[in-house]
Amino acid sequence: MQNLHKIKQDICDIGRRIYNRQFAAANDGNITVRVSENEVLCTPTLHCKGFLKPDDIALVDMTGKQISGRKKRSSEALLHLEIYRQREDIKSVVHCHPPHATAFAIAREPIPQCILPEVEVFLGDVPITKYETPGGQDFADTIIPFVHRTNVMILANHGTVSYGETVEQAYWWTEILDSYCRMLMLAKQLGNVSFLSGEKSQELLDLKDKWGYKDPRNTPDYEDCDICANDIFRDSWAESGVERRAFPAPPTLKQNSTSGSAGNEEALVKAITDEVIRQMQKS
C-alpha cells in the first residue's frame, strides 16, 4: 500500500526545488503523481510551489474531478491526465516555466542535437508542441503526437512538461533540458557551437540502448534518419511554427564522412545561399 503522505511530501520537495531554481515564478507550475488507476495527487491552483505543505495537495480522479483536498486542484490538471491516459508506465508529471527552455518555447527554436553527451543519452530529440490556450482539453491534446516518443516536451509560448516513474525523475528531465538550453545560449554568445560527428553520436545512442533508454533514432522506423538533424519531430514544425533561426543545421552524416566532399560542397553552397536570403529578408 502506498504511503500517500510520503508522496505528498515528495511533491512538496520538488515544488521547493522548482521554485529555488526559478523554474516557477509566483504560483506558476503544477505537479501530479498517479497513485492508483483512477486517482492522482495534484498541486493546488494559485499557490506558490516553493511553500507547499502536504495538506495543500488535492486528490482528483482521471476525469479531473476533485475527490478531496482543502484547496482547489490546478487548472492545468487535464494536461497531466492526458499524459497518464496515453502512457500507463508514467506515474508523475511536472509542468513549469524554466527560463532558458521557455526562451526556446517563445522563439519556437528547435533544440539542437549532437552537442552534449548527457543530453543525447537522457533526452534525445525534444519536440515543441503547437500553441493552445492553457487549461482546456485542446491544450492537453497538444502532447498526443509526441508523448510516446519522449519524456520531455517544450510547450509553445508556455513552458515545459516532463514525466517519469517518480516525481523526482519527472523533474530531472526538465532540469537537464533547462541547463542544456542555458549552455547553448552561452556558447552562442561565444560565437560557436560545435557538433559531435554522426559516428560519435551513434556511439551515444548505442550506449543509451545498452542502458535501457529507448530513442526513436535507434529504431527501424528511423533507419535512414540523420541522427543530428532533428528528424524525429520535424514533420510537426510547420503546424507549431518551429523554425531554425538562432542555431544552424548540424553537419549531416555525409558531411562528416571523408568520402563526401561533393556533398560537403553542395551543402555548403546551400547553407550560404539560405543565409544570404535570410539576411536579405530581414533588411
Indicate whether 215 belongs to any domain.
no
| Pairwise CA distance, residues 91 & 68, whole Å | 19
| Pairwise CA distance, residues 163 & 168, whole Å | 9
Domain identity same for 74 and 171: yes
Domain identity same for 147 and 64: yes
Per-residue pLDDT tens over the stretch 214-236: 889 888 888 778 889 999 999 99
Indicate whether 69 belongs to any domain.
yes
Domain identity same for 135 and 273: no
Predicted local distance difference test score (pLDDT) of residue 10:
98
Q: What is the DSSP pairing of strand 39-42 with strand 66-68? A: unpaired
The three-class DSSP label of residue 106 is helix
Last residue of a domain, one of 140, 157, 190: 190
Indicate whether 210 belongs to any domain.
no
Domain identity same for 182 and 68: yes
How many Cα atoms occupy the beta-carbon half-sphere of 1 within 13 Å?
3
Tell me the helices (H) and strands (E) count for the chain, helix number first.
10, 7
Last residue of a domain, one of 154, 169, 190: 190
- Cell numbers 519531430 correspond to what residue? 233
- Cell numbers 499557490 correspond to what residue? 47
Which portions of the chain are predicted below pLDDT 50? 253-264
Domain around 265? 252-283
Predicted local distance difference test score (pLDDT) of residue 268:
56
The three-class DSSP label of residue 33 is strand
Indicate whether 265 belongs to any domain.
yes
Indicate whether 229 belongs to any domain.
no
Indicate whether 232 belongs to any domain.
no
| Pairwise CA distance, residues 30 & 28, whole Å | 7
Predicted local distance difference test score (pLDDT) of residue 103:
98
Indicate whether 274 belongs to any domain.
yes
Last residue of a domain, one of 138, 171, 190: 190
Domain identity same for 11 and 142: yes
Indicate whether 218 belongs to any domain.
no
How many Cα atoms occupy the beta-carbon half-sphere of 108 within 13 Å?
14
**DSSP designation for 251:** P
Predicted local distance difference test score (pLDDT) of residue 275:
64
Domain identity same for 256 and 146: no
Predicted local distance difference test score (pLDDT) of residue 256:
41
Predicted local distance difference test score (pLDDT) of residue 222:
80
Domain identity same for 154 and 263: no
The CATH number assigned to the domain holding 125 equals: 3.40.225.10
Predicted local distance difference test score (pLDDT) of residue 2:
82
8 Å CB contact between 23 and 97: yes
Domain identity same for 146 and 23: yes
The pair phi, psi for residue 26, each rounded to 5°, is 50, -120
Predicted local distance difference test score (pLDDT) of residue 84:
98
Number of domains present in the structure of the chain: 2
**DSSP designation for 23:** S
| Pairwise CA distance, residues 171 & 194, whole Å | 28
8 Å CB contact between 247 and 112: yes
Domain identity same for 29 and 128: yes
